[in-house]
Amino acid sequence: MYTNTWTGTDIGVAILDTGLYPHIDFGERIRGFQDFLGHHPYPYDDSGHGTHVAGILAGDGTASDRRYQGVAPWCHLVAAKVLDRRGNGRLQDVLRALQWISFNQNLYGIRIINISVGAAAMDSKAAARLIKAVEQAWDQGLVVVTAAGNMGPAYGSVTAPGSSKKVITVGASDMLDRISSVSGAGPTAECVCKPDLVAPGADVISCANKRNSYAIKSGTSMSTPRVSGAIALLLQKDPFLTNVEVKMLLRESCLDLGYPRNRQGWGKLDIQKLLAL
């Protein structure tokens, strides 16, 4: 386990994904890494998905002369590798990672969990276990932000754990039209209207997992870290906000795009409005 424990007041974000490549845009801000697949001790990413997500959230743009900078380029990162190079993973590894994050929450100063993955082909019992695990993290005070998935626009296409009624579920604001309408839509099996909000996710340029370069990716996986980054900015401004208060402020900050509630949620995130509330 790679460890560089938290000693400051900046906001820590845990990312459950394919790992994290030590891109120059992250500097010394990778404070923790836990590999639940291969048990390697130091940060790596054999897919690139997790690194791309992290760059959207927290890259400082060093390799691009600040051209490609993340939303919260000063926050620190804790990565849990739960997916292999093809983006596949096991439920038990995700559950173990969530337990590990909850246990090490104070050690690393973790306030936010970003889960830019979802499980579509999962039976109801497995989905219920995953949802229970993210809700336990939420009840512990962590702000859990998850992707709505790319199985839309059919009703009930939000993937687990984004189908949880408690966590913050993010769709893609620019993948809602007829041409690229893949962003997961509600309602959930419990008749909860999801997603909660949407943010840009199409053709996003962010950190790649080799030679400190960049790559383009699309999906609700890319929308999710935008919201996590905005929440990190909000918590830096007011560290005493609870996760429920954060969720309510997000609701007040969204711009109605004119789509049905089950596709856009409250609307598109407006970061400036969020920070002004």
Please tell me the number of Cα atoms within 13 Å of 92 on its side-chain side.
Answer: 1
Give me the catalytic one of 221, 223, 228, 253: 221
Residue in the block written with tokens 């920070």: 275
Instruction: Provide the β-strand partners of residue 56.
Output: none
Q: Is 174 a catalytic residue?
A: no
CA dist 184 and 20 (Å) reads 25
CA dist 173 and 259 (Å) reads 10
Nearest-CA neighbor of 186 among 125, 254, 267, 261? Answer: 261
Please tell me the number of Cα atoms within 13 Å of 136 on its side-chain side.
Answer: 15
Give me the catalytic one of 35, 45, 49, 116: 49
Residue 106, SS3? helix
Q: Is 221 a catalytic residue?
A: yes
Residue 47 and residue 87 in contact, taking contact as beta carbons nearer than 8 Å: yes
Residue in the block written with tokens 């995130």: 269
CA dist 256 and 57 (Å) reads 23
CA dist 68 and 70 (Å) reads 7
Give me the catalytic one of 10, 17, 46, 93: 17
Please tell me the number of Cα atoms within 13 Å of 125 on its side-chain side.
Answer: 1
Residue 54 and residue 20 in contact, taking contact as beta carbons nearer than 8 Å: yes
Q: Is 52 a catalytic residue?
A: no
CA dist 16 and 20 (Å) reads 10
CA dist 159 and 151 (Å) reads 8
CA dist 83 and 181 (Å) reads 25
List residues with catalytic annotation. Answer: 17, 49, 221
